[in-house]
Every structure is written in structure tokens, then in C-alpha cells.
Homo-oligomer: A and B are copies of this chain.
Amino acid sequence: MATSDGRDTRWEQHRQDRRRELVSHALRAIRSQGAGVGMEEIAVRAGTSKTVIYRHFGDRAGLYAAVVESVHDYIHARISERLLLADAADLGKLVADLADAYLGLVERDPEIYRFVLARPATASSPETDATVSLVDMIGNHVTAAIAGHLAARGLDDTVATTWGHGLTGFIRAAADHWMASPERPPRAQVVQHISSVFTPGFAGAMTGDT
């Protein structure tokens, strides 16, 4: 059944296009109005009205998810080749690249970053809260990479989650305070400081005992 009525499917392309377009407008709105933009303002910026936004994204959390996905693509594109860990030293490179990409985002688009960080507090019970934040997504990648590396060597991988998300959390916290600091030292220096912790740390931990 459902042999794709032409009248159903003919909007598919339009929907995809419009959605991308709306996300792009939302990004612009966030940049100019700040991370606390209202749905109304986003709609106006896109030259339309709230109804359209809600039809396409359901609610604010839906729009948030779309924006997060868009930002995530940016980050992921810069670390994807590092996610395959051949040996322990590769993790150091992953950390360095991830930190650089992350700080790059903070530096270039602070308002977008702030928006993406402010996970919308769904009024429903926190158990059924399916909203995934940016750091969650990145953390999952790192976790998977570490887990893969450990599994390939027959090691226990319950550690992977802690390390993967912890690592991401380290970078996030460093970035947050770098952003807030008045002097704001050069990005490369902070990246260097981050790497200097993890390069020897994980190298030892991953080859030795847990």
C-alpha cells in the first residue's frame, strides 16, 4: 500500500529545501540577535511567520536539533579522518584536531555556539528527553573511536564512555572559559595546553592496564 501518491511526494523536495533554508536563516538570526532569539524574530528574519517554523520543526527543541546538526556537520567534517585510531598516538592527534575545530567554532561564531550550548529545558520529564546536544554528539564519536580501539585489542570498553565524553567535556569547559576570559590568548596556545595533558595520559592508559 501507499504507492506514493504524487501529490504526497511532490512536496518532499520542497520541504527539504525549505528546511535547509530556514535553518540558514535561523543561523543568521542567532548571529545578529544573540543566542536568546525568539521564534518570532527568527521567523521575521526568514521573511515569514512563526507558523512556518512550527510546521517544519514542531517546536523549539526541533529547531534546536536542526541547528545542532548543522553545527555538528562543521565539526565532524574537521575530525572525521581522525576518528579511526590506528595506535595510541592517534588519540593525541584527534584531541588536537577536535580542540582546534571546537575553539574555531567558538572564535568564529560565538553566538551560534552559545545557542547550541543552551539545551532547551523540555518541560516534560527529563527521562523522556530525547534532545541531543552538540557535545553529546561529539562525545559519542570520540567514545566510539576509543571503544573501537580498545575492542580491537581485546580490552574492556566500559571505560570508553567515560573517556570519550570526559575528553569532550574537558575541551568544552576549556573553550567556555577561554571565550569568557578578557585577554583570550591565541587559540593555538590553548589547543597546545589541552593536548599536553592528553597525549601522555591516554598513551599510558591505553597501552597499560586500565
Q: Which residues of A contact B (CB under 8 A)?
A: 34-36, 114, 118, 121, 123, 125-126, 135, 139, 158-159, 161-163, 165-174, 176-178, 181, 185, 189-190, 192-194, 196-198, 200-202, 204-205, 209-210
Contacts and interface: CB of A to CB of B under 8 A. Distances in A.
A124 to B, nearest CB: 9
A166 B171 contact: yes
A189 B139 contact: no
Given A126-B114, A196-B205, A200-B200, A165 B158 contact: no
Given A126-B114, A200-B200, A204-B200, A165 B161 contact: no
Tell me if A's interface is mostly helix, strand, loop or mixed: helix
Q: What is the copy number of this chain in the assembly?
A: 2
A158 B189 contact: yes
B174 A165 contact: yes
Contacts of A205: 196-197, 200
- In this complex, the member of A163, A171, A201 whose beta carbon has the largest number of chain B beta carbons within 10 angstroms is A201
Contact of A118 (B114, B121, B165, B202): B121
A173 B166 CA distance: 5
B159 A193 contact: yes
Contacts of A176: 165, 169
Contact of A204 (B123, B166, B201): B201
Given A36-B121, A197-B201, A165 B189 contact: no
Given A114-B126, A170-B169, A173-B135, A178 B204 contact: no
A185 B121 CA distance: 26
Given A177-B139, A205-B197, A123 B169 contact: no
5 contacts: A158-B185, A162-B190, A166-B174, A201-B202, A201-B204
A125 B33 CA distance: 10
B159 A165 contact: no
B161 A168 contact: no
